[in-house]
Structure 1
Amino acid sequence: MIYADMSTQELFVAAARKSLSVGKKSLSAPQSLDLAAQVSAVDLGLKPALLYDSNSASSEQVQQYLSSLQSSQLVSKSLLTLDLNGNTLIVNPVTVGSNLEQVLHDSVVAMINVCHSLEKPTITDLLRGELKSMIQDLLHLLRRFEQLTEAEKPLYVGGKCEEWNLCTVFGLLLGYPVTYWFDQTKSFENCLSMTPLMVTTAAATWQADTTDHRCCLYSFSIPAVLLEETQSNLEHWGLGLKEKFKQQNVLKDLSVCQTTVTLPSVCL
C-alpha cells in the first residue's frame, strides 16, 4: 500500500518496489529514482516515450507501476503502456503523435541504412515509403490509445509489428533526430563495426523533495561520416528540447554533450 503522507520521492520508490519486482529482487532506490525521473520527463513531454529496461519486469508490471503513479497523482492519466513484441514502453501519446506527424510531413528525422552488406552507413530516401507506412500505422495505434480511459492493461501490438524494423520504430518513438534501418529479412547484423560514432547525451536534474537526481534523458549515436548531412536534424532536435525544457520547472540544469566512440561491434 502507498500512503498519502509519503514524500514524492518515497511514493515513486514504493511504487517501483511494489510493482516491478522480479522474483525476490526489487529495484534499488537509485534505480527507482532514475525511473521516476524518466517517467516524469515523458509526462512533461521532454521525451515522447521511455523504453523500459530497468529489469526484466513484464509489461503488465510496468502498467501496474504506471497506474500506481497515476492513482497517487504523480503523473497524468494520459500516459500509457505499449508492448511491442515483448518490449515495453511508457508513452506520452500527445507528444509521440505530434513528433510522428512532424516526421511525416517535414522529414526532420534522418533514416540511416546500416545494412551489413554496405561498406559504410548511408542516409537513404529510398525507404521513405516504408517509413511513411510505418508512421501511419503508429499514428493509427495512437488513435486507439486516445479511445482508452485509464487503461488497466498494456496495449499489445500484434502481428503488424513483426513486419517493422523495431530499431527504426524505437528511434521514432523515442524522439531521436536519426533512426537506423537494416534489412532484417537478410540479416540482423550491421556495418557499424569499427565505425566512429558520435554519441549525443542529454541529461538533467530531477528535483525530488530534498534530494536532486541526475538522469540521462536521451542517448543516441550518429556515424561520424554522416555528421555534416545530419547536422540540421541534430540542431532541430536540440532547439526543440531546449524550448520544451524552458516550459517546465520539474527538471533543471539541462546539458547536452557529445563524445566519439569506436566499437568492435554495435548491437541495435
Structure 2
Amino acid sequence: MDNFLVYAKTNIVPIVPLIFPLVILSQILIQLLSGIGRKTKVKIYEAGRIEIGFSQMGPSISLLGTLGAEKKNAFISKIDLQVSRKNSSWKRTFEWRAFKPYTFSLIPQEENVQLESVSAFLLTTDNSFKYNIIFVDDLFIDEHYDKIVQIQTLWQSFREKHSKELTEKIDEDFETFYQQDNIQEIIDKIDKAFYWEPDIYNIEMCVHTQNPSKKFKSNYQTQIKEENIVKLKDNYKNIFKLACNLKANCKYLFLKYYE
C-alpha cells in the first residue's frame, strides 16, 4: 500500500492538472475534424407571389420565402437581385432594403406596414429563416432623388404663397398644386424614367455568405402585362403626396411565378 502511494504521488498526481486541458483540447479537435469536408449550403424556397412596385421607394420587388442552411451554419452578409427582360438586353440590380412582416392574407395588403432595416444575420442548421424582403433599385433612387426634393420645396412654397386661399381640405389643395405646369413637367421626367414595361422578367436572387465567401442563387420568372403598367403609373400622384408628408397608399402588383 505504501509503495502504491509513493507511486501515485510520483507518477499520477503530477499529471492530474493536465487532464482537464487535454479533455477540452480533444473536444476542440473533434469539432474541427468533424467540420472538415462539410461545406456550407444555403437552400432557397420561394413562397407566395412576386410583388412588383413603383412607389416612394422607386421601382421595387418584394420576395417571400424561406432560407435553410445545410451541413454548416451560414453567415448571410447580403441578398440582392439581378433583374432582366426576356426580349431585350435591359438589366438592373436591386439591393435589399427592408424586411416586412412575414404574414399571410387572402387579399394582398397594400396599406402601410411596419418595416425593419435589413442587416446581416446568422442562418443556422437548426433554424430556418422566413423572409419577406423589399428590394429597391438604388441607382434609380440616386438619379431621381432631386426631383422628390424639388416637389417638397415647391409644395412648401405653394402653401406659403396661397396660405389665405387654402382650405381645410388638404386633398383639394394638393390637387390644385398637382395640376400646375411645373409639377406636370416633373411628372413627365419621372414617366420617362419609368422602366417597367410588358415583358417576361427573369429575377436571379443571390444570397451572399461570409466565412466562407460564397453565393447561392435561385432563378424565377414573372410576367408584367400592359394593364399592370397602368396600375403602377397610377401611383404618381400618391408618390408626390407621400413626398409632401400627406397620407396616401401606393398600389402594387402581386404576380404569379411564371412557368
Q: With the length of structure 1 as denominator, give the TM-score of the two structures.
A: 0.25
Q: Tell me: higher relative CO, structure 1 or 2? Use CA pairs within 8 A at least 6 residues apart.
A: 2
Q: TM-score w.r.t. structure 2 length? A: 0.25
